[in-house]
């Protein structure tokens, strides 16, 4: 196993459950049995996977359980290799290295009600939220769609634990003919209600569209897969002006802003480099960004961009850095 130097936690795989061919559920513990650092619902771990690099996985378990973390991983045959490595190479007893839990998708406490919408393996952070909301006595509804039960996780556990009136399971079939009607579900924008959505881009785009009339700060998205089915590199060369450091840097065709800044010695924080984790979120002051992430809200996109994937349709973009 290749040692990755930037980790904070050493975790031992204590359980692996296979759900059909597509999904594995893992439990991770401290190798010496100590309590693990706390997390809040919606948090993820950056796992450092040998041969595959750093990958983000949402914590799916109950935040009140302190002696194990739970994650679920769908096998993505044509992905970047992280899920294949977990499915094919990881065994009970193996050690993995991880960041501390980080949360960009936390539950806002100020709402009277919560609508949770999950697609496929996107159930993971929302399952964690059901524990937290249930304990706090907050009303919520969980709308979970997947192609079929083999492409869904925790279905039996959700059926057994979540009150029936709060759980809606939709299996769309291979043609996706039984899709949820988000227009009807989200027609009424309610000021006291928050929406949390995690799933594939088609589902998140449908929810984004159906919530355009909602207060944008009440609508939250988390991507579970890299946003870049699109190539993240620039389609044409442009210039990045760094307003605070008074520098101008050229981004070449095929390059990302992040790569160009690094090439010129500018230090930029990053993690997933796939438009998912927000670590590289940067405010822009001028220019026309092309947003390629799946996680920023409409409001956030008015002022910020994720420079590991997003580009620019103008000749110049000015960043607040």
Give me the residues that bind ligand FES (CB under 6 A), please: 270-273, 275-280, 306, 308
State the minimum distance, in angstroms, from the CB of residue 307 to ligand FES.
Answer: 7
Decide whether 87 or 208 has the Cβ nearer to ligand FES. 208
- For residue 77, the minimal CB distance to ligand FES (Å) is 23
**H-only helix segments in the chain:** 82-89, 123-136, 155-161, 182-185, 201-210, 257-263, 298-301
Contact (Cβ atoms closer than 8 angstroms) between residue 296 and residue 306: yes
What is the three-class DSSP state of 298? helix
Give the nearer residue to ligand FES in terms of CB position, either 52 or 153: 52
**Cβ atoms < 10 Å from Cβ of 116:** 25
Comparison of 87 and 278: residue with beta carbon closer to ligand FES: 278
Smallest gap from Cβ 277 to ligand FES, in A, equals: 4
Nearest distance from C-beta of residue 269 to ligand FES, angstroms? 8
Output 68 or 278, the one with its CB closest to ligand FES.
278
Min. distance of Cβ 290 from ligand FES in angstroms?
15
- Smallest gap, in angstroms, from Cβ of residue 310 to ligand FES? 9
- Which pairs count as long-range contacts for 59-62, CB under 8 Å and 24+ apart, including other chains? 59/101, 59/124, 59/125, 59/128, 60/25, 60/123, 60/124, 60/125, 60/127, 60/128, 60/153, 60/154, 61/27, 61/127, 61/128, 61/131, 62/128, 62/131, 62/132
| 224: its two tokens | 């579970």
| CB of 193 or CB of 255, closer to ligand FES | 255
Q: Of 210 and 227, which has the nearer Cβ to ligand FES?
A: 227
């Amino acid at each position: 196993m290749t040692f990755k130097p930037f980790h904070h936690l050493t975790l031992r795989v204590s359980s692996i459950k296979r759900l059909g061919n597509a999904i594995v559920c893992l439990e991770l513990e401290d190798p010496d049995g100590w309590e693990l650092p706390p997390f809040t619902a919606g948090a993820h771990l950056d796992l450092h996977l040998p041969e595959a690099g750093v990958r983000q996985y949402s914590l799916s378990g109950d935040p009140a359980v302190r002696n194990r973390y739970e994650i679920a991983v769908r096998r993505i045959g044509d992905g970047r290799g992280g899920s294949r490595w977990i499915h094919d190479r990881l065994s009970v007893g193996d050690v993995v290295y991880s960041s501390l839990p980080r949360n960009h998708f936390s539950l806002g406490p100020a709402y009277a009600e919560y609508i949770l919408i999950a697609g496929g393996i996107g159930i993971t952070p929302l399952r964690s939220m059901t524990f937290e909301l249930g304990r706090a006595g907050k009303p919520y509804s969980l709308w979970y769609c997947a192609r079929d039960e083999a492409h869904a996780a925790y279905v039996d556990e959700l059926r057994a634990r979540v009150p029936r009136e709060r759980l809606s399971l939709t299996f769309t079939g291979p043609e996706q003919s039984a899709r949820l009607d988000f227009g009807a579900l989200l027609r009424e924008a309610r000021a006291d209600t928050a929406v949390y959505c995690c799933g594939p881009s088609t589902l998140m785009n449908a929810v984004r569209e159906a919530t355009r009339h909602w207060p944008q700060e009440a609508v939250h998205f988390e991507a579970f897969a890299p946003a870049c089915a699109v190539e993240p590199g620039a389609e044409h060369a442009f210039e990045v002006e760094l307003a605070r450091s008074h520098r101008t840097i050229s981004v070449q065709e095929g390059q990302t802003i992040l790569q160009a800044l690094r090439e010129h010695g500018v230090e930029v924080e990053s993690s997933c480099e796939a438009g998912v984790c927000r670590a590289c979120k940067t405010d822009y002051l001028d220019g026309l960004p092309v947003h390629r992430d799946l996680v920023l809200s409409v409001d956030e996109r008015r002022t910020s961009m994720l420079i590991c994937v997003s580009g620019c349709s103008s000749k110049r973009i000015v960043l607040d850095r």
